[in-house]
Copies of this chain bind each other. A is one copy, B any other.
Amino acid sequence: MTPIVRRHLFGPGPTNPYPEATEGLARPLLGHLDPAFIAIMDETCDRLREAWGTTNARTLPLSATGSAGMEAAFVNTVTPGDVVVVAVNGLFGQRMCEVARRCGAEVIPVEHRWGTPVDPERVVAAHPSPRVVAAVHAETSTGVRSDIAALGAAVHAAGDALLVVDAVTSIGGLELRADDWGIDVGYAGTQKCLGVAPGLAPFTINDRAFARRVERPQSWYLDLGLLGGYVGEAGAKGGGRTYHHTAPVAMISSLHAGLGRVLDEGLDNVWARHAAAGQALQDGLEAMGLELFAEKGSRLPDLTTVKVPDGVDSAAVRRTMLERYDIEIGAGVGEFAGSVWRIGLMGPNARPDAVTLVLGALAEVLAR
């Protein structure tokens, strides 16, 4: 029998899950219409509202990974010919452009140098009256955090565009306040700071955006008008629960449990723990003489990008980290594939032991 492999997942995600999340996966399976499961689904949506910082009735885990959350955001808000302004400062901004184009949007990308945050002024200046403005809160490809509060204020001061935000690598790890910041539509993933396996897309949409949604989106699977009934949406459907598709019961039970762990610790404490771990890692890398990639002042705590030193074989280092220490770290993306590493300390890995381990192992490998 093949031995079971266990890894320290210090890459850009997935992270190692919280033990509670793993336990939730393996519980006896429930039917998707069982009252016992419906109670779990309802509570999961409540917990997601807390994690998002929202009171949006329409907050739910979509039954696919974070990238499907992106698709859901656009298919439900964009029809052919609509103008969509996308702040692009990394791979996921680029992907937003592609997904919006497949909805027939006229996309206006606002390009930023990779490693820098989104500039709200440039984004707002790109078009006088777009239907949607979209940006990534935490760019997984570059390790950069953008100021969504400032972007939201600028977008809403300029007109009535909907603000779509990617919070895949921020939810559960750093401050996220969807309502206060003016996020109209948000999507995320489970496999980063929430400390749950990949497979669901936590999603939220406010009343304003829902009222302006596409009536019959090109995607049936991601049609939010149908999905409201699926989660037993209280407001619009009178509390009735209708069958849409079979909920991924085990994954939702796991998300329920992982969110319980995060909220028991308290969001402020969780954010502080991620901030402390990220700072310790970044300080340690600089103390080793390495140079960070993301611009100072806009570095993510949960995902650190560091330049590969000249003359070092990036892939060989990652391979040794994996084979000798069972540690996964990530390569860079796009033109930085071979010149940047991405080190994530997310969820249960945002802890001093993980900082010490990854710094120690990296120092040993670089000294070999």
Residues of A30-86 whose CB lies within 8 A of B? 30-36, 63-68, 71
* Distance between A330 CB and nearest chain B CB, rounded to angstroms: 8
How far is it, in angstroms, between the C-alpha of A247 and the C-alpha of B198 when the chains are bound? 7
Residues in B with CB closer than 8 Å to A36 are 5, 7
| Contact segment of A20-28, A114-122, A298-306, A358-366 | A20-28
| Contact segment of A126-134, A145-153, A157-165, A215-223 | A215-223
How far is it, in angstroms, between the C-alpha of A66 and the C-alpha of B33 when the chains are bound? 17
Known: A64-B64, A197-B248, A248-B65. A220 touches B7 (CB 8 A): no
Residues of A87-123 whose CB lies within 8 A of B? 95, 98-99, 102-103
Known: A4-B27, A64-B64. A32 touches B198 (CB 8 A): yes
Instruction: Tell me the number of copies of this protein.
Output: 2
Q: Which residue of B lies closest to A11 (CB)?
A: B31
* Distance between A303 CB and nearest chain B CB, rounded to angstroms: 14
Whether A290 is near chain B, meaning CB under 8 Å from some CB there, is no
Out of B9, B34, B71, B251, name the residue touching A219 (CB < 8 Å): B71
Per-residue CB contact flags for chain A residues 206-237 toward chain B (1 = under 8 Å, else 0) read 00000000001111110000000000000000
Known: A14-B246, A31-B9. A64 touches B218 (CB 8 A): no
Residues in B with CB closer than 8 Å to A249 are 14, 197-198
Are A246 and B189 within 8 A (Cβ)?
A: yes
Given A16-B29, A191-B246, A199-B199, 6 new contacts (CB under 8 A): A5-B30, A6-B28, A14-B249, A65-B247, A198-B248, A199-B251
A-B pairs, top 10 by smallest CB distance, nearest first, are: A199-B248, A197-B250, A64-B64, A6-B28, A26-B26, A67-B245, A5-B36, A25-B25, A198-B246, A31-B328
